Amino acid sequence: MHGRAISGFLAYGLPGVLLGLGLAWWLGGRGDQAAAQSAATGSTGRAAEPKKAQSPRPGPGGEVAGTLAFVTNGTGSGQFLYVIDTKKQAFAIYRVDPAAAKGTVKLEASRQYKWDLELEHYNNQAPEPAAIEATVKTLARTTH
């Protein structure tokens, strides 16, 4: 039984995790190159004192330079890779199917969520945030 779990992970889980880590590293590293170049020349255009470089070390479901990536199990052998760019306030969801003949990666959805976060509420059940706020303020007044 234990051997099946390991072989299942090696066949399905490991490729998705490796893909997620690779994408997180690649997406995180693109922004660091420009920052490293501007830090090296400084505002005067002259070479600045070298700083100790810190290499990002992504882990499963970790963050690298504002990019989060994690993998979840989908239906069948497929998995979903979620890539979230916290600096651009955007995300993408990919379906990864390592069991397909050549393996497949398909973009399922992407979205910039910056403006979503500006909504007070959307598509929620009662109580709405304004009602909760009024209740909390009323309770605060009665307890003081």
Q: What is d(CA 103, CA 7) in angstroms, rounded to the nearest whole number? A: 17
Locate 79 and state its tokens: 């998995």
- Check residues 135 and 15 and name the one with the higher pLDDT: 135
Which is more confidently placed, 12 or 30? 12
More confident residue, 1 or 71: 71
Give the mean pLDDT of 96-113.
Answer: 90
Specify the 3-state DSSP secondary structure of 44.
Answer: coil
pLDDT digits (tens, 9 = 90+) for 49-90: 444 444 444 445 555 678 999 999 887 788 999 999 999 999
Q: Which of 105, 70, 71, 65 is nearest to 85 (CA)?
A: 65
pLDDT for 77: 80
Mean pLDDT across the chain, nearest whole number? 72
16: buried, middle or exposed (CB in 10 Å: 19+, 13-18, 0-12)?
buried
104, 87 Cβ separation under 8 angstroms: no
Establish whether the linkage from the previous residue to 58 is cis, with ω within 30° of 0: no
CA distances in angstroms from 58 to 26, 76, 134, listed in the order given:
11, 27, 43
Contact 79, 12 (CB under 8 A): yes
Q: Which of 28, 49, 52, 31 is nearest to 40 (CA)?
A: 49
The predicted pLDDT at position 43 comes to 41
